[in-house]
């Protein structure tokens, strides 16, 4: 039954039916399904199929936008549930995260942010299309020790480098670890621009941030 519901949620992402995605996500939670299972076994695989169809030329931008809308709304529904599972955990560290200037892809970044806060980090999510000076100001304001930079376009990856330079210029580089990610980003790129770490997905990002804060990883929710 629960497997069937997860399949339906996945199909609703692929078919671009955001209202149905949100409704069934609510049903799954009410039925006792773990938020992480809804994410891993329904929403993410659905989004992967959408991405593949887009790459294959079968889907176009409107399909992506609708699928992304469903994903985003379902994530918002899951977030408090993920958080609730770690209510008692002391903040593991403070992180400022955002998608870099010129780039409006937000799903992966939001997922990383959600997973980090679900794992006990205090997360300040600056959103998308974020200029270097906003990262600098937020680090100063919050005393964050980790900065997460997301970029989904080959043209905006270079902005990650500019933000690292801006942190350096502001005298903050020694105080923060910079982690980078996004589909076109690689470990090699992270090394090239002088980032402190790279992770290919949200689970890896939590692992990385946890290691950087020098504490054992929390069990997955
Ligand atoms: C959905 C989508 C969109 C949606 C975004 C909606 C939204 N609100 O986010 C819309 C339709 C708006 C869109 C627009 C565009 N898109 Co688009 N989009 C995608 C798509 C299909 C999926 C991205 C996604 O959400 N994936 C799901 C998430 C969960 O994965 P993720 O983002 O990779 O994130 C994970 C990891 O990368 C990592 N991660 C991400 N961030 C971070 C940060 C840190 C710190 C760490 C550690 C890890 C980490 O963890 C995440 C979770 O596991 C991709 C295809 C693809 N295969 O990636 C194209 C894609 C990224 N888009 C592409 C393009 C070209 C565009 C447009 C330029 C199209 C256009 N002509 O207008 C515009 C860009 C506008 C802009 N200025 O940003 C290209 C990029 C090509 C390139 N190499 O540069 C892709 C690859 C599609 C393609 N095959 O051509 N897009």
Nearest-CA residue for atom 27 of ligand 1: 108
Higher pLDDT, 157 or 215: 157
Confidence band of 207 (pLDDT split at 50, 70, 90): confident
Pocket of ligand 1 (CB under 6 A): 47, 51, 54-55, 61, 64-65, 68, 102-109, 111-112, 148-150, 152-154, 179-184, 199, 201-202, 205
Q: Does residue 183 have a pLDDT over 60?
A: yes
Whole-number pLDDT of residue 219: 37
Higher pLDDT, 173 or 86: 173
d(CA 170, CA 164): 10
Give the pTM: 0.80
Q: Does residue 202 have a pLDDT over 90?
A: no
Region 67-87 average pLDDT:
81
Q: What domains does the chain contain, in order, with CATH numbers? A: 2-84 (1.10.1240.10), 94-212 (3.40.50.280)
Higher pLDDT, 206 or 192: 192
Task: Report residue 129: phi and psi, to 5°.
Answer: 55, 50
Say how many Å lie between the CA of residue 152 and the centre of ligand 1: 5
Whole-number pLDDT of residue 216: 41
Q: Does residue 91 have a pLDDT over 60?
A: no
Nearest-CA residue for atom 26 of ligand 1: 108
**Taking all residues of the chain, what is their mean pLDDT, rounded to a whole number?**
88
Q: Does residue 56 have a pLDDT over 90?
A: no
d(CA 57, CA 55): 5
Say how many Å lie between the CA of residue 153 and the centre of ligand 1: 7
Residue 1 CB-half CA count within 13 A? 5
Whole-number pLDDT of residue 204: 83
In the chain, the N- to C-terminal Cα span, in Å, equals 21
Confidence band of 86 (pLDDT split at 50, 70, 90): low
The residue written with tokens 């950087």 in the block is: 212
Residue 178 CA to its chain's centroid (Å): 15
pLDDT digits (tens, 9 = 90+) for 133-181: 999 999 999 999 999 999 999 999 999 999 999 999 999 999 999 999 9
Which atom of ligand 1 is nearest the CA belonging to 51?
A: 21
Q: Does residue 130 have a pLDDT over 90?
A: yes
Say how many Å lie between the CA of residue 136 and the centre of ligand 1: 24
Say how many Å lie between the CA of residue 31 and the centre of ligand 1: 32
Q: Does residue 69 have a pLDDT over 50?
A: yes
């Amino acid at each position: 039954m629960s497997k069937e519901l997860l399949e339906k949620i996945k199909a609703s992402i692929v078919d671009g039916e955001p209202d149905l995605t949100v409704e069934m996500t609510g049903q799954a939670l009410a039925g006792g399904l773990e938020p992480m299972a809804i994410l891993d076994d329904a929403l993410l695989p659905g989004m992967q199929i959408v991405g593949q169809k887009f790459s294959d030329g079968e889907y176009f931008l409107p399909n992506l936008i609708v699928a992304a809308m469903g994903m985003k709304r379902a994530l918002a529904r899951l977030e408090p549930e993920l958080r609730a599972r770690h209510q008692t955990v002391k903040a593991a560290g403070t992180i400022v995260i955002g998608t870099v200037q010129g780039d409006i892809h937000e799903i992966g970044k939001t997922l990383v942010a959600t997973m980090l806060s679900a794992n006990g980090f205090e997360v300040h999510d600056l959103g998308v299309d974020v200029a270097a000076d906003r990262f600098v100001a937020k680090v100063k304001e919050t005393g964050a020790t980790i900065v997460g930079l997301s970029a989904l376009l080959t043209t905006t990856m270079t902005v990650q480098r500019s933000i690292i330079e801006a942190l350096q210029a502001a005298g903050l580089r020694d105080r923060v670890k910079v982690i980078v990610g996004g589909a076109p980003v690689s470990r090699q790129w992270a090394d090239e621009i002088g980032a402190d770490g790279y992770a290919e997905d949200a689970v890896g990002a939590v692992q990385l941030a946890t290691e950087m804060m020098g504490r054992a990883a929390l069990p997955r929710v």
